[in-house]
């Protein structure tokens, strides 16, 4: 089988069935400082939605609030039939929400393979977990070649792949990724983009935060623009590409 077709099949088996993510009136405060001011958006099943914005705009805070990793308030926040405002962070993986945090956070002292297996901690230990790892290796061949190496010995781009692979081990239906392109060379950014596109093409929902608006627009269907904790614009990628403010501020053209 051709390598691309093989990778596509692997991506297909890596994901569960998505539900609608509904976020309404989301607020995050850090002490007296409000970082997110009433954000509202949906991610439909199988949709890829991006969030772009400058440093400090509240992108990471929005994702962490969805995941329950920071204290948050909101009018309503649901994934399918589950009330996320009443769901602790520790339950999110079981709901099918996979998270690739900003800065990767792989375990440097553990092997690549052990890092992957940790991503499957909510699943019963069985042969399916090894199969899932084999599928991650098809999607990211370099991880397969380096499976016995310590994660701390990987390059930044390889660690990014490992963080994505680890999130895929729990068979998520929604992948939440925070700045996967940060600090990567243009070639590795292309690799990450093609993996995101491949996963999206298999029906996985994606919520992607990126300061790199060009990459974000290639990877998603629709995008929110955040400034100072507020969503100031939202639209299909084709609309945003022709928006004069977006072109000037985020695309530099
Ligand atoms: N743990 C924290 N305690 C206090 N303030 C915080 C904390 N985390 C973030 N902030 C503040 O909240 C605001 C939003 O930060 P956030 O990390 O969500 O932005 P961001 O859009 O992800 O930025 P970047 O592109 O730099 O990652 C910023 O003003 C930041 O200083
Ligand atoms: Mg951030």
Global pTM value? 0.93
**Atom of ligand 1 at shortest distance to CA of 102?**
27
**50 alpha carbon – ligand 2 mean position (Å):** 13
At 207-247, the pLDDT tens digits run 999 989 999 999 999 999 999 999 999 999 999 999 999 99
Which protein residue's CA is at the shortest distance from atom 11 of ligand 1? 35
Domain at 2-249: CATH code: 3.40.50.300
Neighbours of 143 (CB within 10 A): 25
In whole angstroms, how large is the CA radius of gyration of the chain? 18
**61 alpha carbon – ligand 1 mean position (Å):** 6
CA distance 48 to 152: 30
Burial track 188-225 (b if 16+ CB lie within 10 A, e otherwise): bbebbbebbebbbeebbbbbbbbbbbbbbbbbbbbbbb
Per residue, what are the HEC states of 72-134?
Answer: CECCEEEECCEEHHHCCHHHHHHHCEEEECCCCCCCCCCEHHHHHHHCCCCCCCCHHHHHHHH
At 146-165, the pLDDT tens digits run 999 999 999 989 999 999 99
**Atom of ligand 1 at shortest distance to CA of 62?**
18
Mean per-residue pLDDT, 89-110 = 93
Residue 166 reports pLDDT greater than 70: yes
């Amino acid at each position: 089988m051709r390598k691309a077709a093989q990778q596509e099949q692997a991506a297909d088996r890596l994901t569960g069935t998505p539900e609608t993510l509904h976020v309404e009136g989301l607020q995050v405060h850090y002490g007296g400082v409000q970082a997110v001011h009433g954000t509202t958006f949906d991610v439909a099943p199988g949709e890829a939605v991006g969030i772009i914005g400058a440093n400090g705009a509240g992108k990471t805070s929005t994702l962490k609030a969805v995941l329950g990793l920071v204290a948050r308030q909101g009018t309503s926040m649901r994934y399918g039939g589950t009330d996320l405002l009443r769901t602790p962070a520790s339950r999110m993986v079981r709901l099918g929400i996979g998270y690739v945090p900003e800065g990767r956070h792989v375990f440097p002292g553990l092997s690549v393979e052990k890092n992957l297996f940790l991503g499957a901690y909510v699943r019963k230990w069985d042969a399916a977990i090894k199969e899932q790892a084999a599928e991650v290796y098809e999607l990211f061949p370099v991880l397969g070649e380096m499976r016995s190496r310590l994660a701390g010995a990987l390059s930044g781009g390889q660690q990014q792949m490992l963080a994505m692979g680890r999130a895929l081990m729990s068979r998520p239906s929604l992948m939440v990724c925070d700045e996967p392109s940060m600090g990567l060379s243009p070639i590795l950014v292309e690799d990450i983009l093609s993996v995101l596109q491949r996963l999206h093409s298999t029906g996985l929902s994606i919520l992607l935060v990126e300061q790199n608006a060009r990459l974000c627009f290639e990877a998603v269907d629709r995008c929110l623009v955040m400034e100072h904790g507020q969503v100031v614009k939202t639209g299909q990628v084709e609309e945003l590409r022709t928006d004069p403010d977006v072109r000037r501020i985020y695309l530099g053209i």
